[in-house]
């Protein structure tokens, strides 16, 4: 039995923040879960996918975040508690559904987990999604620890059901990916069945209905504000004339800083967990009698703005600060040191920072495509045929790493699906070849509409769909076009080639990028055909080797080695292909040479097709073999 299905309440388990959210949802009797994976939220849907059948929970990897909100919303409207999760930029995709679902509301509890990523550990921007809660008038909770994540998931379901509105659980990377003790609660045994009651004048948002629901939503917000004022997740500790208001993981940094600065007897802390609607009454009471107050929060001044407004409305003479020089930075994650310095500066306390012993810097290790990744072979061939003059819009996925040298095959990227749409724009205003890249999962997520648009407007570019058979970057989650399963190869539910042809594309070709010359021959023909208007599509299809090993337990039988006697040290393997299995070093005799690390080589054979000095070697013939 999976750890998250432990039936005994009262036991303590060391859980990841994301696992604690799953446990909280199970204890809250969530029976419908939908998500598109995205760091730092991916473990939520992955764990549900593992335990769903045993837990009696329907689980789906939706093709994008908007779909996940719409499907989970339909379940909640039908009286079945639901959850959807996404990373922060996913809410941009889901915003259309999110904003109006707040109007329509739900019948059973619905939690939307939105995971922000301060410091952009794995994201293209650093947006603060707390403003989405405010814009959508949706209640929001912010946990600090895995234990709070579990409790708040339960509370979010309760709030959602009581006020008949989805509730946002906003997390950050440090909460999602930290591990901490969690005390388990009871698991329910009943599974309520769904029931949909037709009510078009409350559920079908034509303008006359929308106007009525808008007013009802504002009434809910007023009541939710009273709920926030009395929430047990908003509490005060300490006493003094100095105040700190904080939320999320920042609360832990504040606790450390106050203790290390020795100002526990001077500082009063208001820790907020129910952060929207702002608990104005609670904040106003907290501010009374304070001389000065610092708001400690990551990213934007979301709470700071509310505190300043509350102080101004109440006519309180307290000095309020938050973001600013020598105070709380607006960019990137906080930590205990940053918060300590801010408190020291704002409250004017003396502090002698501990001596930091010098340690050698670790060598930089830039992110790179894996050895044997078929995307590298695709980039190599496209660059050989289209050269430096072409424009290369790219998209979100492993293949984004093609931006780095020596490949340098990404010229423009803003969000999921933008590679296809922006290519159309480039093709209409530039007299250069345009070749865009998108992965198979991302194509299903948001590339299809861009392709339909391009076909209908005669945009002229080549779209390369890099089909490695999985959603690789977030952990090998499935999508509608998968062919590899633990049982072997299957017929995909949705054929990429048929789908592309169905969008109206006539020039569609499929290649195996590991066959270098054949791929370049097809690309050369495509380049010639691009003199005519219209979109061409190349499906570059070869499984992710990591996924293939994981699914089929495929073993490497052949690796490659450099024949030093014929190698002229031209370095093309390094400067044009850049596989990380290649090493530039000195031989035992002191001569510079190129070597292939056999433990990294996947045996893809691409390098041997571009250099005659690279030869195959059966694994097990020498040092480094694994058979």
Q: Are 543 and 494 in contact (CB under 8 A)?
A: no
604 known member of a binding site: yes
How far apart are alpha carbons 450 and 504 in whole angstroms? 12
| DSSP 3-state of 366 | coil
3-state DSSP assignment of residue 116: strand
Cα separation values, 107 from 22, 101, 191, 205, 604, Å: 21, 12, 16, 16, 53
- Record the tokens describing residue 400, joined without a space: 């984004």
Residue 97 phi/psi, 5-degree rounding, is -70, -40
The DSSP result for 256-291, as a single string, is HHHHHHT-TTTEEEEEESEEES--HHHHHHHHTT-S
Contact residues for 570 (Cβ-Cβ < 8 A; gap 6+): none
Q: Please, which residues have CB within 8 angstroms of residue 397's CB and are 6 or more apart in sequence?
A: 438, 439, 441, 442, 466, 472, 473
Question: Is residue 373 marked as binding?
Answer: no
Structure-block tokens of residue 263: 């100002």
CA distance 127 to 174: 16
Query: Per the annotation, does 178 bind a ligand?
Result: no
Backbone angles phi, psi at 19, to 5 degrees: -70, -35
Closest CA to 289 of 264, 318, 310: 318
* CA-based nearest residue to 547, from 465, 627, 474, 626: 474
- Is 370 annotated in some ligand binding site? no
Residue 579, marked binder: yes
Q: Are 30 and 82 in contact (CB under 8 A)?
A: yes
What's the first-to-final CA gap in the chain, in angstroms? Answer: 34
Residue pair 16/178 in contact by the 8 Å Cβ criterion: yes
- Cβ atoms of 464 and 540 within 8 Å: the answer is yes
Instruction: Name the nearest CA neighbour of 511 among 482, 547, 536, 480.
Output: 536
Count of helices and strands (H, E) across the chain: 22, 24
Q: Widest CA span of the chain, in angstroms?
A: 84
In the numeric block, which tokens belong to residue 599? 């433990």
Angle value at C-alpha 155, between 151 and 160, nearest 5 degrees: 150
Distance CA 595, CA 560 (A): 10
Annotated binding site for [4Fe-4S] cluster, which residues?
567, 570, 573, 579, 601, 604, 607, 611
Annotated binding site, which residues?
567, 570, 573, 579, 601, 604, 607, 611
């Amino acid at each position: 039995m999976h750890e998250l299905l432990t039936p005994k309440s009262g036991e303590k388990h060391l859980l990841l923040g994301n696992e604690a959210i799953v446990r909280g949802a199970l204890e809250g009797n969530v029976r419908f879960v939908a998500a598109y994976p995205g760091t730092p939220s991916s473990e939520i849907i992955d764990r549900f996918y593992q335990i769903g059948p045993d837990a009696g929970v329907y689980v789906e990897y939706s093709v994008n975040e908007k779909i996940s909100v719409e499907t989970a919303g339909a379940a909640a409207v039908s009286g079945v508690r639901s959850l959807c999760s996404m990373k922060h930029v996913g809410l941009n995709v889901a915003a259309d559904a999110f904003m109006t679902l707040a109007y329509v509301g739900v019948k059973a509890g619905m939690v939307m987990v939105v995971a922000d990523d301060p410091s952009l550990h794995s994201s293209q921007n650093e947006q603060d999604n707390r403003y989405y809660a405010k814009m959508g008038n949706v209640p929001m909770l912010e946990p600090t620890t895995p234990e709070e994540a579990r409790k708040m998931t339960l509370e979010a379901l309760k709030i959602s059901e009581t006020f008949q509105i989805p509730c946002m659980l906003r997390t950050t990377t440090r909460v999602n990916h930290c591990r901490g003790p969690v005390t388990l609660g009871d698991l329910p045994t009943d599974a309520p069945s769904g029931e949909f009651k037709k009510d078009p004048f409350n559920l079908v948002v034509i303008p006359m209905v929308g106007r009525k629901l808008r007013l009802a939503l504002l009434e809910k917000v007023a009541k939710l504000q009273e709920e926030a004022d009395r929430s047990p997740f908003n509490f005060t500790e300490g006493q003094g004339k100095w105040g700190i208001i904080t939320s999320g993981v920042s609360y832990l940094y504040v606790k450390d800083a106050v203790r290390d600065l020795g100002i526990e007897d001077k500082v009063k802390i208001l820790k907020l967990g129910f952060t929207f609607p702002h608990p104005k009454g609670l904040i106003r009471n907290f501010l009374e009698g304070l001389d000065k107050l610092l708001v400690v929060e990551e990213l934007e001044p979301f709470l700071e703005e509310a505190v300043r407004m509350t102080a101004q409305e109440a006519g309180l003479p307290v000095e309020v600060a938050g973001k600013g020089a020598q105070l709380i930075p607006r960019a990137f994650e906080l930590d205990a040191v940053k918060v300590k310095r801010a408190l020291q500066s704002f409250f004017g306390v003396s502090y002698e920072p501990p001596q930091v012993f010098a340690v050698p810097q670790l060598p930089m290790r830039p992110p790179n495509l894996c050895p044997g990744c078929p995307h590298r072979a695709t980039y190599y061939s496209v660059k050989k045929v289209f050269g430096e003059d072409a424009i290369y819009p790219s998209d979100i996925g492993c293949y984004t790493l093609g931006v780095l040298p020596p490949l340098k095959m990404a010229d423009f990227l803003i969000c999921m699906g933008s590679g296809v749409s922006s290519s159309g724009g480039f093709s209409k205003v530039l007299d250069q070849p345009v070749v865009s890249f998108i992965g198979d999962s991302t194509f299903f997520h948001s590339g299809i509409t861009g392709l339909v648009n391009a076909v209908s407007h005669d945009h002229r570019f080549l779209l390369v769909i890099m089909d490695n058979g999985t959603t690789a970057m977030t952990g090998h989650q499935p999508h509608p076009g998968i062919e590899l399963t633990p049982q072997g190869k299957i017929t995909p539910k949705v054929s990429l080639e048929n789908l592309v042809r169905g969008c109206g594309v006539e020039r569609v070709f499929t290649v195996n990028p590991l066959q270098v010359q054949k791929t370049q021959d097809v690309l050369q023909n495509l380049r010639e055909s691009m003199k005519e208007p219209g979109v061409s599509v190349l499906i570059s299809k070869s499984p992710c080797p990591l996924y293939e090993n994981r699914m089929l337990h495929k073993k490497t039988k052949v690796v490659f080695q450099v024949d030093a006697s014929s190698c002229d040290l031209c370095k093309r393997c390094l400067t044009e292909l850049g596989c990380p299995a290649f090493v530039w070093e000195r031989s035992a005799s002191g001569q510079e040479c190129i070597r292939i690390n056999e433990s990294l080589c996947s045996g893809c054979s691409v390098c041997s097709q571009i250099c005659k000095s690279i030869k195959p070697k059966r694994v097990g013939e020498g040092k480094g073999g694994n058979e």
